[in-house]
Amino acid sequence: MSTREVKELFFAATNEKVVLSSDDTYCEQKLRKAFRLSNDLTDQIWPFITAYRLAHLLFRKAKSEADFNEILKLLDHSEQSRSLYISVHSKLLKFVALNRLKLLGVKNLKEKQKVCRDDIIQHIGRSNAIERSMSDPDRSVQNDYFNILEYLSYATDLEYEPLLGVGYNHGNTLYPYIANDVWRIVGPTGSTVDEFSYNFEDGKIELDRYIRENSADGLFILGNPAETCLTNKRAEKTDTNFNRVQLLNEVILAGPGGAPSGDLAEIWAQAGDTSPKEAAKKGRQHLENKIFNKSIFNQVEQGPNTRWSLKENIKIYGLVNVKFLR
């Protein structure tokens, strides 16, 4: 079973048209099949997010102890994902499922709730560490997780003391938000590889899978300057020059028709370079001579209408913030 087939089933169950139709039976069938087929996969996204979304869906009609035990079994699986996003959301939902069982009269669940709460606190700490390592103040998800955990704790009889000091916001952001944390994966032909948008963490995991499975020449990440980079996977050479990564992105997005030289020069012009055309030429040559050690660009036209495309035999994938997608 391929990841592509699981993703197609997942998309069939979660796309806007299906969600707006409110056909939960159809969605449940697709998610159950996707989860069953994903058991053979080894990546860190799709075997787990299918279980998480199925648990979410089953929660809508769950009433009995058996219903919530099935949900807990799915969440026990999905919380094992290496994706912090999937894991912490699974634990939050698990906390709620345990409380619903408690309301049904199931005994001796308080310790399980405490363990679940402590796991969430640990994940919030990991999220906080990742957040501090980034210079982008718009990716502040730690406080969102903490606030949700606070609300869940208020709804139970668990003591509050373990939460003290966990929710400190290092950026002093009044209302943390993640509006800029939306990414797509771009393939060598200039098209996005699937229908999904990712947060940065999950996008990086999925990008790495594409690199492995397609024996790619390289990968790039294009977001804010601090996280932007390009890597030659065959020689492990890295380039963190923001303009050069932007140039590569423009060339790839243009597809086989190529990107006009003027558009590439504009990258340097916007950065204040006094000789943008020459700078773009040097940037292109640097990628070929210093990073990939071979020709990766194809000159589609010459003269005043010169355009550049990625050569057909070159496989480079990128994780691109949506603000850099045309």
Q: What's the confidence (pLDDT) of residue 273?
A: 80
Q: Does residue 209 sit in the same domain as residue 258?
A: yes
- Judgement on whether residues 133 and 250 belong to the same structural domain of the protein: no
Q: Do 128 and 235 lie in a common domain?
A: no
At a CB cut-off of 8 Å and minimum separation 6, what does 287 contact? 230, 239, 244, 247, 248, 296, 297
Distance CA 146, CA 163 (A): 8
Give residue 45's pLDDT.
93
pLDDT tens, position by position, 285-302: 999 999 999 999 999 988
Q: Is residue 175 part of a domain?
A: no
Strand 237-239 and strand 229-232: pairing? antiparallel
Half-sphere exposure of 169 (CA within 13 A, CB side): 18
Q: Give the residue carrying structure tokens 């993640």.
A: 178
Q: Would you state the pLDDT for residue 157? A: 62
On whether both 7 and 102 belong to a single domain, the answer is yes
Q: How many domains does the chain have?
A: 2
Note whether 295 and 190 are same-domain residues.
yes
Whether residue 230 sits in one domain with residue 196:
yes
Number of C-beta neighbours around residue 228 at 10 A: 22
The confidence score (pLDDT) of residue 199 equals: 86
* The pairing of beta strand 307-310 with beta strand 297-301: antiparallel
pLDDT greater than 80 at residue 146: no
Query: Is residue 94 domain-shared with residue 218, that is, in the same domain?
Result: no
Please check whether residue 174 lies inside any domain of the structure.
no
Confidence of residue 30 (pLDDT cuts 50, 70, 90): very high
Q: Write out the DSSP string of 86-152.
A: HHHHHHHHHHHHHHHHHHTT--S-HHHHHHHHHHHHHHHHHHHHHHHH---TT---HHHHHHHHHHH
pLDDT at residue 54 is higher than 90: yes
Q: How many residues does the chain have?
A: 326
Instruction: Report, as an integer, the average pLDDT of 120-148.
Output: 62
Q: Are residues 192 and 113 in the same domain?
A: no
Q: What is the pLDDT of residue 9?
A: 94
Domain that holds residue 213: 183-324
The verdict on residue 10 lying in a domain is yes
Q: Which of these ranges, 177-181, 305-309, 314-318, has the smallest mean pLDDT?
A: 177-181
63 pLDDT higher than 60: yes
Check residue 154 and give its pLDDT: 61
User: Does one domain contain both 150 and 191?
Assistant: no
Residue 111: inside a domain: yes
Q: What per-residue confidence (pLDDT) applies to 171?
A: 40
- Look up residue 192 and give its DSSP letter: B
**In the predicted model, what is the mean pLDDT of residues 77-82?**
94
Whether 187 is covered by a domain: the verdict is yes
Residue-level pLDDT at 158: 65
CA distance 205 to 45: 7
Query: What proportion of the chain, given as a percentage, has pLDDT over 90?
Result: 58
Q: Is there a domain that residue 171 lies in?
A: no
- Cα separation, 176 vs 301, in Å, equals 47
Predicted pLDDT of residue 204: 94
Looking at the structure, tell me whether residues 215 and 308 fall in a common domain: yes
Quick check: is 71 in a domain? yes
Distance CA(197)–CA(181), nearest Å, equals 10
Are 216 and 141 members of one domain?
Answer: no
The rounded mean pLDDT for the chain is: 86
CATH label of the domain that carries residue 77: 1.25.40
User: How confident is the model over 148-180, as pLDDT tens digits?
Assistant: 776 576 667 666 567 555 554 444 333 344 556
173 part of a folded domain: no
